[in-house]
Amino acid sequence: MKTRNQLKKIVLVAICAMICLSCEKPEEALEINNIQTEEVITKTVRPFLHMSFDADVSEEEASRMFNEALQEYYSKEIALGKISTKNWTYRITTRTGNGKYDGTDGAVKSTVRFRTNTGWHYWTVYLNNPGDDREKGKTDYYGIDITFDQSLRWVELSSASISLKGKDKWAFNKFKVDMTKQMQPLSANKYSGSSLLEPVINPIAALDNNSANGWDTWDSRYDAANNGYGWGRIALKQPSNPPGDVGSN
């Protein structure tokens, strides 16, 4: 009889433990899902500006021409009332190798990971223009405008990846992402600081696939010759006018 009572107690304890575990697991899973939903926001965009430069054009000259085109674009957008403090601009720069087969006509996309005062944001951009991207020895500049769901106080570039689709191999020796106050759609004096991600590629990186639909990816976190993480922060100064006010560059 004593043994039977002890057995009943053991069974009762086991049932209670199972009930407790079944109650705890959904809450734990819900908490993880909430973190992922609130802190990691993923979106896809396309560049509004693309410029390609031959090897004999200096980086300074290419940047000057790019910034002029950038300001021309934003002056029109501001005039149309399309720009607010929710808009931020970053630039992607790639330089294709000089080898005979380094250029590609394959599709390329890049995912940039941003850290902001509201959490993590991942933006994927497709870097494709008919016939003029990633030619041998050329440097390609892409301007990307991203619109957040709310006005941000600051943005940091964390890391980035770049991917090639298909079997038309691509080799590159530069992959750079940057954000400066001069690039931003509002007046430069509304911002402070800058953010830069320029992983070391030594001496060249190559992407290729075994199938036409496959994607091969180079990620700054794992494939760069240095640590492959960005540094610096670009911040929006406290506006003297209400959020949404626009200015000229």
pLDDT for the residue 13: 40
Cα distances from 19 to residues 14, 22, 141, 218, in angstroms, run 9, 5, 58, 46
Check the CA dihedral 179-183-186-188 and report its sign: positive
Q: d(Cα 9, Cα 25) in Å, to the nearest integer?
A: 25
Closest to 109 (Cα-Cα) out of 65, 43, 156: 43
pLDDT for the residue 41: 83
Binned average pLDDT, 10 residues per bin, the chain of 249 residues = 46 40 34 42 92 95 95 93 93 96 95 96 90 88 95 96 96 97 92 97 95 97 94 85 42
Q: d(Cα 241, Cα 249) in Å, to the nearest integer?
A: 16
Check the CA dihedral 126-137-160-68 and report its sign: negative
Its pTM stands at 0.80
Pairing between β-strand 154-165 and β-strand 108-116 as defined by DSSP bridges: antiparallel
Strand (E) or helix (H) holding 171: strand 170-180
**Which bin fits 44, alpha (ψ -120 to 50), beta or left (φ > 0)?**
beta
